[in-house]
Structure 1
Amino acid sequence: MADFGGGDLDALRTEAKEWIAANFPASLKGRPNPMMREERSTPSPEQEAWRKAMGEKGWGVPTWPKAYGGGGLSGAEARVIQQELGRAGAYNPIGGMGVMMFGPTLLE
């Protein structure tokens, strides 16, 4: 991933738009995140591919340090990713109680 130096949000926004367009399966557009449902179902191949792509990019947990599988992004950069996911009708497939309560974060 490019080094945005913490300040080039426009470059990050452009990268995010392009990356989401290239990686988010169109069949999932506008559908809810299956992780947020009470009943669990087996992920479809498209859901699994999307989860894997977001995980490899580090954007599933964008503010976690890269050493822990995150994106190493600032809060402002993470907001850009979330905004672009929303504009694309996409969702973050990585989440849940463990991510929100026990994962590492970067201090700003």
Structure 2
Amino acid sequence: MRIFIYYTIMVSMTIAANLMLKIGAERYNGNLAELLNIKIFFGLAFFGMAAFFYILILTKIPLNVAQSFATIQFIAVIMAAHFFLGEPIDATRALGIFLIFCGILLVGKSSF
């Protein structure tokens, strides 16, 4: 159960990090100083927190299993970008998301 909680926190932090970096990067207009804004700072901080929880996960399960389950963050970030930023998900992308999810299920079935 603890591993599930760690994964949930890690994925949530990764979602927040990606969204903050995207929003912060949209302010960039060629001036390097504009990349050093509060949204980018928080995005990097969220990635750091996600890494901390990933390290906790790695203390409990093998790397190949941990990384396979960590791919759920790819799906989660795409979905968050769709719902919070209005980014489109076309049929091809939806198929890719489905295939990633199927891969996670296969790894999960073979891991336990």
Higher percent of residues as helix:
2
Which has the larger Rg?
2
